Structure 1
């Protein structure tokens, strides 16, 4: 292999497209955060979901 080869490898697609419905006020708040942080709404949502999943506390209501 010479140093002038242009090598392309397959890209790993680690994302999926989802469609959700949210309240308008939540969408407006996300847009404002995106504007203030210079990030996309998608980035903000992903950050929030990751935080929620890492910090969720599940309470099993069947163990009363």
Structure 2
């Protein structure tokens, strides 16, 4: 058999995980509305929002203001 004729299959890499969260009903309604308007799934919108938040987060340690 010629190498050009080989049908090569590799294991599928699943990089996603399933988690469960609780959110306010009002937030869910807003996500559902945006989902309808954007033609994107609620899951896709949540992933986009989480990626944005993690890229733009500012972490402040401690509670006292420094002089």
Deviations 1:2-53 (A, max 9, x none): 43x4332111110000000000000000011111110000000000000000
What residue in structure 2 maps to residue 12 of structure 1? 13
Q: CA RMSD in A?
A: 1.3
Specify every segment of 5 or more residues in structure 2 that has no aligned partner in the other structure, as ranges: none
| TM superposition score normalised by structure 1 | 0.87
For 1:9 and 1:30, how far apart are their aligned partners in 2? 36
The 3 A distance-change label for structure 1 pair 25 and 62 is closer
For 2:49 and 2:27, how far apart are their aligned partners in 1? 12
Question: Which one has a bigger Cα radius of gyration?
Answer: 2
| TM superposition score normalised by structure 2 | 0.83
Q: SS in structure 1 opposite 2:29? A: helix
Number of aligned residue pairs: 63
The runs of 4+ residues in structure 1 deviating greater than 3 Å are none
Specify every segment of 5 or more residues in structure 1 that has no aligned partner in the other structure, as ranges: none
